[in-house]
């Protein structure tokens, strides 16, 4: 068999050495944008067991191996498309021959539908965190994608909160199903513990308990692109000028490896929104240095969990092949916190890859100019989710 990497290099040799950076506007749609590259897009709606309707985009290659890309907090399917063609992971994987799926987490701009609840009428619609995304959304997406594609397995690539979702899902009630049907879990900037993070947004959140303030000011959703001016003004007042903008670098940090033009493209559809409770769940990790379920207070915890303290997640129980991609300059998934996670996994033989990339930020995977990590990912896919050799023109 011809190595997959060799085929990709052959394809790339016929392309321009310097791929042009696209310009993405807030008015662009994913379908219109990908049509510039001759890529057709399918729109799918995934129903969860608790009634949420999630929108997913497919870059179809029927009968080909499947890769599912799960975005991070405040992001959307757009995050996989904002770089040059040879660096935008969704486009690159499709060009390599994969059937690529881009789901959207509940509550972001693409996934604001429910069978009974209305997002701007029913506060209950927003009663979720990444725990519910892990419990309901992950398995719903995997089942739907495998059913439509008629495949038995897929590769799950998560970034930031996308990794949090799978870390939880893979040790919860659907563990057996996911272990059977996920041939590789790639964790880009794995987020679990947050004690050492230095993100400006989360640092201020910890100091000023922003979760409580935001819940009062925004009883439904929070952090959507259209709300940026209002949020910026509020944050500036309550933090006494310490946080007055909500830009990519404030949330995620940045690196010399990151393209300013790609960051601008990412910002065109960022932030895409989430629930205040989702943000508050992460804020709890900042204060308590734990990785566990939502803390309602001791009395309410007994009602929810049967014990006064919220249970911790058992990531050591993950039974699927796991690859950890870490950045040394990551302010959200700080190397010390990822080391804590790695220590929880030290006896887990399913960790097949773990590497720290010098100078990578939390968003380098989306907006970076360096391709070291892409080459490593291609090598992993050759082993765990290979495609039949073909020439892509």
Return the exposure string of 253-280: e unless at least 16 CB atoms fall within 10 Å of the residue's CB, then b.
bbbebbbebbbebbbebbbbbbbbbbbb
Say whether 160 is catalytic. Answer: yes
Say whether 328 is catalytic. Answer: no
In whole angstroms, give the CA distance from residue 29 to residue 36. Answer: 11
In whole angstroms, give the CA distance from residue 283 to residue 207. Answer: 10
Strand-strand pairing, 52-59 and 113-114: antiparallel
In whole angstroms, give the CA distance from residue 180 to residue 194. Answer: 30
Report yes or no: 36 and 118 within 8 Å, Cβ to Cβ.
no
Q: Which of 86, 137, 280, 330 is catalytic?
A: 330
In whole angstroms, give the CA distance from residue 182 to residue 319. Answer: 10
Q: Which of 105, 149, 160, 342 is catalytic?
A: 160
Which of these, 90, 65, 77, 92, lies nearest to 146 by C-alpha position? 65
User: Which residues participate in catalysis according to the annotation?
Assistant: 160, 330, 362
């Amino acid at each position: 068999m011809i190595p997959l990497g060799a085929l990709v290099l052959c394809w790339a040799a016929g392309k321009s050495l310097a791929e042009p950076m696209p310009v993405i506007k807030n008015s662009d749609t994913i379908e219109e944008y990908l049509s510039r590259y001759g890529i057709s897009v399918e729109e799918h709606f995934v129903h969860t067991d608790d009634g949420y309707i999630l929108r997913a985009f497919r870059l179809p290659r029927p009968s080909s191996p499947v890769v599912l890309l799960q975005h991070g907090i405040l992001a959307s399917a757009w995050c996989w498309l904002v770089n040059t063609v040879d660096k935008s992971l969704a486009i690159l994987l499709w060009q390599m021959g994969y059937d690529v799926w881009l789901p959207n987490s509940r509550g972001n701009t693409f996934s604001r539908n429910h069978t009974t609840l209305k997002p701007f009428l029913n506060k209950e619609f927003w009663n979720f965190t990444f725990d519910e995304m892990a419990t309901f959304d992950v398995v719903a997406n995997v089942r739907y994608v495998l059913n439509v594609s008629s495949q038995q397995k897929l590769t799950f690539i998560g970034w930031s909160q996308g990794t949090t979702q799978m870390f939880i899902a893979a040790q919860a009630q659907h563990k057996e199903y996911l272990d059977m049907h996920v041939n590789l879990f790639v964790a880009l900037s794995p987020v679990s513990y947050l004690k050492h993070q230095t993100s400006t947004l989360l640092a201020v959140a910890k100091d000023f308990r922003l979760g409580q303030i935001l819940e009062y000011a925004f009883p439904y959703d929070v952090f959507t692109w259209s709300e940026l001016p209002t949020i910026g003004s509020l944050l500036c007042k309550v933090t006494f000028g310490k946080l007055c903008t909500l830009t990519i670098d404030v949330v995620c940090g940045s690196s010399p490896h990151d393209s300013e033009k790609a960051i601008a493209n990412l910002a065109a559809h960022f932030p895409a929104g989430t629930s205040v409770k989702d943000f508050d769940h992460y804020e709890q990790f900042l204060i308590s240095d734990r990785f566990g379920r939502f803390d309602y207070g001791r009395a309410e915890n007994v009602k929810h969990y049967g014990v006064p303290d919220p249970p911790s997640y058992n990531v050591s129980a993950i039974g699927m092949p796991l690859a950890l991609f870490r950045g040394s300059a990551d302010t959200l998934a700080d190397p010390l916190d990822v080391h804590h996670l790695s220590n929880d996994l030290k006896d887990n033989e399913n960790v097949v890859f773990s590497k720290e990339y010098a100078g990578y930020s939390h968003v380098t995977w989306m907006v970076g100019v360096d391709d070291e990590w892409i080459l490593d990912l291609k090598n992993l896919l050759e082993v765990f989710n290979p495609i039949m050799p073909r020439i892509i023109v």
